[in-house]
Amino acid sequence: MTRESRDAVLGALRRATGRDSNAAAAAASVGDRLARHARNTIPARGQRDRRGRLDLFVEQAEAVDATVALVSGAADVPGAVADYLRGENLPTRLRMAPDPKLDAYPWDEAPLLDIEHGKGEASDTVAVTGAFAAIAETGTLMLVSGPETPTTLNFLPDAHIVVVRAADMVACYEDGWDRLRATGRMPRTVNFITGPSRSADIEQTLQLGAHGPRWLHIVLVGDGPGEVEGSDG
């Protein structure tokens, strides 16, 4: 459906329900309802200080078969990606999201990486994306769709490498939604990713990569030495 046809359908619905003449009032009502929305019970597990949230995120992510590399700053990101690919015997050719935040990392420091930008293709083995937020409570990544963040990169390649800043760590899902609403723009798609794709539909035997990547590797980037110290997962 094109934007024009969608607007025509929604306009017809508004007129039929008498809302067309009160569009401003309806928008104000929605904004007020969101502003006054009361949260449900939030588990205490994620309510920690900044360092505690980082530790919890790593613990929860590794518990569901993701791997995590902790790096102290942006300069270490390309090397961490190259080290992971080498350690898993994966190709150094990768498809990267056309995201300016990713472009800011010094990829020329890892010259063996063969980087192409764009949406994911069925032939891609490795994808590198960013994340809108990381959720400590469950070791989950929150990714949003858009021209700079194609959703196909999250699902088509066998290996998904996600670069996320420690500054984008939140305690719980509700905090992630608050951050997204604060941007003033809702994406077409929001994906929550917890570990590699998996299914036990066939004879209750767990299979990784059933509906998406078989490997999920997270590069967690601190704001300086000391923030994310520790051994890699």
Answer whether residue 61 shows pLDDT above 90. yes
- Angstrom distance (rounded) from CA 195 to CA 211: 12
Distances in Å between the alpha carbon of 96 and those of 115, 132, 134?
7, 15, 19
Report pLDDT digits (tens) over 187-215. Answer: 999 999 999 965 545 555 545 545 569 99
Q: What is the mean pLDDT of residues 15-26?
A: 70
pTM across the whole model: 0.81
Report pLDDT digits (tens) over 84-107. Answer: 999 999 999 999 999 999 999 999
What is the chain's length?
Answer: 233
Query: Residues 8, 13, 16, CA angle at the centre, nearest 5°?
Result: 125
Measured in whole angstroms, the distance separating CA 123 from the mean position of its chain's CA atoms is 22
**Residues 6 or more apart whose Cβ sits within 8 Å of residue 45:** 56, 137
Distances in Å between the alpha carbon of 15 and those of 4, 6, 9, 22, 104?
16, 14, 10, 10, 47
